[in-house]
Amino acid sequence: MTATSRERATQFEPVYHHYGPHRAGLPPLVPYFRELWARRGFATEMSKATMRGANTDTFFGQTWLILNPLLLAAVYYLLVTIIRGRHDPSFFTHLTLGLFAFNLVSTAITSGATSVTTSGKLLINTAFPRLLIPLSAVRTAFFRFLPTVPVYFIFHLIFLTKVWHWQMILSLYFLAMMIVFAMGLAAFFAALTIYFRDTSSFLPFFVRIWMYLSPVLWLPEKVGSFPRVVLTLIEINPMYSMLGGYAVAMQEGHVPPLYMWLSSAAWAAAVAVLGFLFFISREREFAVRLS
Q: What is the pLDDT of residues 157-180, one digit of tens each?
A: 888 766 788 889 999 999 999 999
In a domain, 79, yes or no: yes
In a domain, 133, yes or no: yes
pLDDT score at 242:
95
In a domain, 50, yes or no: yes
Q: Tally the domains of the chain.
A: 1
pLDDT score at 132:
93
> 289, 119 in Cβ contact below 8 A?
no
**In sequence order, what are the residues at sequence separation of 6 or more whose Cβ sits closer than 8 angstroms to the Cβ of residue 108?**
137, 138, 141, 142, 179, 182, 183, 185, 186
In a domain, 188, yes or no: yes
Q: Residue 270: which domain range?
A: 28-290
Q: Which of 229, 237, 183, 188 is nearest to 212 (CA)?
A: 237
CA 264 to CA 175: how far, in whole Å? 10
> 214, 98 in Cβ contact below 8 A?
yes
* Residue stretches of the chain with pLDDT short of 70: 1-24, 54-62, 82-87, 161-162, 221-226, 291
Q: What is the DSSP string of 73-107?
A: HHHHHHHHHHHHTS--HHHHHHHHHHHHHHHHHHH
Torsion sign (Cα): 138, 140, 141, 146: positive
In a domain, 23, yes or no: no
In a domain, 204, yes or no: yes
> 181, 138 in Cβ contact below 8 A?
no
pLDDT score at 54:
66
pLDDT score at 89:
74
b vs e for 200-229, b when ≥16 Cβ sit within 10 Å of the residue's Cβ? beebeeebeebbebbbbbbbbeeeeeeeee
> 261, 245 in Cβ contact below 8 A?
yes
Q: Residue 268 is which amino acid?
A: A
Residue ranges with strand state E in 139-284: none
In a domain, 134, yes or no: yes
In a domain, 5, yes or no: no
b vs e for 67-79, b when ≥16 Cβ sit within 10 Å of the residue's Cβ? eebbeebeebbee
> 181, 267 in Cβ contact below 8 A?
yes
Q: Give whole-number Cα distances, 232 to 117, 207, 226, in Å.
A: 35, 18, 10
- pTM for the complete prediction? 0.84
> 177, 204 in Cβ contact below 8 A?
no
